[in-house]
């Protein structure tokens, strides 16, 4: 047993830091997915990852920080989809965005539910979520500004339009998660989006 522990420690010291961090993170997420966030202990995570507690805390100050890495990775994937919005066809590209975003979120399975519950009960995650929401709205505002410059919409204040879409995005996701993802998120959002766009159509010259 002693020799086994010595071998593990030596192996961990020889593992590049980024690979060791990834191994611990993957072990944590596998346990969170299976048992939820609050019921999983750091002891269980380090046992699954075959590392010491010191190694865990070297990368993750708290258990919530292990979930924070996942939150940022998932948030980055959604942001990448948003960065591809086409300002020359704003309504169609936003509808496509919501369809693709739903596919990404559904692909996360039960881990998405774990994350959504943890956000409401852990300050580190809640703060990250608020920062993300502000960044989302800035990105939507930039998109609407580019759409206005392309004369694809008529909007005096892109930030107001961004707030409207941001509210629709956030509120709809919360209701979708609360309903256990029992319906299509995109199919519920897009009719509301089309209604919003009736006030953003370019004005025709008389």
- pLDDT tens for 11-62 read 566 678 888 999 999 999 999 999 999 999 999 999 999 999 999 999 999 9
**pTM value > 0.85:** no
- Of the pLDDT bands very low, low, confident and very high (cuts 50, 70, 90), residue 5 is very low
Q: What is the crossing angle of helices 185-197 and 158-178, to 10°?
A: 160
d(CA 85, CA 100): 12
C-alpha distances in Å from residue 5, one per residue of 1, 10, 18, 96, 138: 6, 9, 22, 51, 50
> Following DSSP, what letter does each residue of 19-60 receive, concatenated?
HHHHHHHHHHHHHHHHH-STT--HHHHHHHHT--HHHHHHH-
Q: Which residues contact 149 (CB under 8 A, 6 or more apart)?
A: 87
- With beta carbons less than 8 A apart as the criterion, state whether 114 and 36 touch: yes
d(CA 132, CA 139): 10
pLDDT single digits (tens) 107-148: 999 999 999 999 998 999 999 999 999 999 999 999 999 999
Phi and psi at residue 154, to the nearest 5°: -115, 105
């Amino acid at each position: 047993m002693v020799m086994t522990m010595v071998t593990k420690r030596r192996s961990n010291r020889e593992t590049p830091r980024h690979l060791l961090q990834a191994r611990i993170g993957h072990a944590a997420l596998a346990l969170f997915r299976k048992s939820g966030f609050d019921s999983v202990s750091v002891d269980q995570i380090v046992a699954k990852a075959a590392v010491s507690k010191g190694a865990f805390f070297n990368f993750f100050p708290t258990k919530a920080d292990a979930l924070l890495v996942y939150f940022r990775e998932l948030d980055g994937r959604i942001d990448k989809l948003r960065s591809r919005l086409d300002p020359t066809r704003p309504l169609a590209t936003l509808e496509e965005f919501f369809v693709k975003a739903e596919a990404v979120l559904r692909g996360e399975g039960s881990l998405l539910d774990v994350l959504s519950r943890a956000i409401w009960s852990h300050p580190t995650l809640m703060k990250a979520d608020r920062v993300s929401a502000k960044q989302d709205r800035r990105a939507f505002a930039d998109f609407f500004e580019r759409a206005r410059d392309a004369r694809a919409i008529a909007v005096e204040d892109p930030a107001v339009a961004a707030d409207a879409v941001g509210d629709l995005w956030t509120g709809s996701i919360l209701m979708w998660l609360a309903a256990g993802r029992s319906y299509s998120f995109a199919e519920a959002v897009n009719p509301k989006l089309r209604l919003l766009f009736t006030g953003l159509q370019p004005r025709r010259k008389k």
